[in-house]
Amino acid sequence: MRSNDRSEDTSSSSSASAKLEAPSAKNKRFQRLSRNVSEAIASLKNSLNLDTSSPRDQLPPPVPSVPSSSSKADVCRKVVWGTVVRNLTQLYPGSQLPEKLVSNIRKHYDSLPLSYAQAGFDMKEVFLHIKLIEQASGDDHPAIFIQQTSDDEVQGCVFKLTFACNSSFSWSAMSGALDSASVCCKKIQIFEKKGFTLGIILFLVQSAQDKFFKSHVESALKSALRKPKTTTVKLPFGLCGCQEESTKGRDFGEIEEEPSEQTHRNGIENPNTRIQLPMPLPSSSFVVLVDEWQTIQSGADEIGKWLLNSDSLEFIDQIAPNSFKGVYKGKRVGIEKLKGCDKGNSYEFELRKDLLELMTCGHRNILQFYGVCVDENNGLCVVTKLTEGGSVHDLMLKNKKLQIKEIMRIAADVAEGIKFMNDHGVAYKDLNTQRILLDKHGNACLADMGIVTACKSVSEAMEYETDGYRWLAPEIIAGDPENVTETWMSNSYSFGMVIWEMVTGEAAYSACSPVQAAVGIAACGLRPDIPKDCPQILKSLMTKCWNGCPSKRPQFSEILSLLLRTSY
């Protein structure tokens, strides 16, 4: 566009010069000035996307056959910036936009990830964000703005927290510092670039607690801020929209003890914690071939950024036959040796891309995946976040029966995690109390999702036959193990069984053999007896989850809503 304007100006200048046989020096200077002004106007139009020339005066832009990711990002930024300019013109109708204002807003958008521009904040919110960022830029403390908003659809007070800080932010640390019984996060958006964080969080607060909320949330926020470490490179875990687009080429090898939900995901929303992931999730897998010397023969490029250095992985304590507590480059981690991928043998393993998205998105109710390690002494190891509280099964062995308040909290966490998975088209496989892990605060997350599996292994089917029958839905038990797959409906059934075990502290069908129990569940409608002293809400929920007609079982949005409405 600019080249057309320049050529038109040049041709018009040339014709004007031809008519003047002896142009004076004054005329020449005027012509040069006209050309400069014309070029400046064309440049301004192009940058603001306000060119009003007719289509016939414009040449269509060249369309690349294979657009690069950077060109797509540039096009997207240009479209978004055009929208921003139009919003600005509505604030200044009939007048010229102040040049300094446009420049400052452009710098503001450029300083944050592209997802910030795509979030659609109105200009008043943008001006507040700019003000907070300016306040925080020269201070070690975050700049905070809290306002109460109205929402007729909820009971309680809704507060909007907006903050900016020159450090990274951990949502898991903040949520752990807040009292979940009286404070519920309704929506969260975190944007980070080059170590600077901008956050917008909506909280639902019980009216009795609202007078303490501001001081409470400020304290929790400060505990969730971490100064950037110049000696480490962070793995891409966390929220969309909070990491630069250029991270694809980075060398990943450093992990943090608590993965930060700050990288490239955007928008958590309670009660069902929604994080924006690509839809549909990728259905393919990485397949990696390892020889008997534990050297990767194929698939190294795809698995590259998820491959951790075996020399930096240290095994500390064994907590199960194939599970360990360990340390990776000074950080405490959980380690699991993968069956069928032992040292001294060649093997193939696959890493599911859909589960990779789910386990690296920063959801607090899904165990965080750090990477894999191919070790000549231990074979293939899966490295995850370390959960200090063990499994719900371990807790039951220790305390036998759990308190109702504890059951409700764990059940809500599990329902939140499964709903998130189901919303993205993925069902959890073989839900049971051994696969629900707890952190040191008692918060639950889903583990052992099968993100990395040995190829051509039959171990999973054998697990169903010998152990998992107690939790499996009738349609899964009755189906062909080679073809049947879990669904949200079978997840709902298993969820009811998990609640029953937490309420009773016992293993279901302990008086039956595995075959007797499996036949009874699948063919005869066998269900465990619910204790008489069980709270009515849990009794009703279990009964609904065990419905013989899968489609009549409650979805996890209904389950979660029910659990969050009930207080103990």
Helices 404-423 and 488-504 sit at what angle, rounded to 10 degrees?
170
Amino acid residing at 544: K
d(CA 100, CA 84): 15
Rounded mean pLDDT of 354-358? 93
More confident residue, 143 or 238: 143
The residue that leads in pLDDT, 360 or 60, is 360
- What's the whole-number mean pLDDT along residues 114-128? 82
The answer to whether 243 and 157 are in contact (CB under 8 A) is no
- Rounded to whole angstroms, the maximal C-alpha distance in the chain is 113
Structure tokens at 195: 């170590």
Q: What is the pLDDT of residue 91?
A: 67
Residue 2: partners with Cβ closer than 8 Å, 6 or more residues away? 39, 42, 43, 46
Could you give the CA distance from residue 285 to residue 453 in angstroms, rounded to a whole number?
Answer: 10
| Residue 145 structure tokens | 């703005």
Cβ proximity of 437 and 391 under 8 Å: yes
Which DSSP state fits 64?
A: -
pLDDT surpasses 50 at 238: no
Q: In which band, very low, low, confident or very high, does the pLDDT at 270 lie, cut at 50, 70 and 90?
A: very low
pLDDT in tens, 152-210: 666 667 888 898 888 777 766 676 666 555 677 777 788 887 777 888 888 887 765 55
Over pLDDT 70: what percentage of the chain? Answer: 68
What distance in Å separates the CA atoms of residue 450 and residue 432, rounded to the nearest whole number? 14
433-490 pLDDT per residue, tens: 999 999 988 999 999 888 999 886 444 444 444 456 789 999 999 888 777 889 999 9
Q: Report CA-CA distances (Å) from 150 to 49, 203, 506, 526.
A: 36, 12, 45, 48
The DSSP letter of residue 158 is: E
Give me the mean pLDDT over the 56-76 stretch: 49
Q: Quick one: pLDDT at residue 559?
A: 95
Q: How far is CA 301 from CA 241, 286, 413, in A?
A: 25, 10, 36
- The rounded distance, in Å, linking the Cα atoms of 129 and 191 is 11
Statement: residue 538 has pLDDT above 60: yes
Phi, psi of 564, rounded to the nearest 5 degrees: -75, -25
How confident is the model at residue 59, as a pLDDT?
41
- Cα–Cα distance list, 95 to 44, 89, 98 (Å): 16, 8, 9
d(CA 474, CA 462): 17
| Distance of alpha carbon 390 from alpha carbon 142, whole angstroms | 34
* Tokens at 440, concatenated: 């040191």
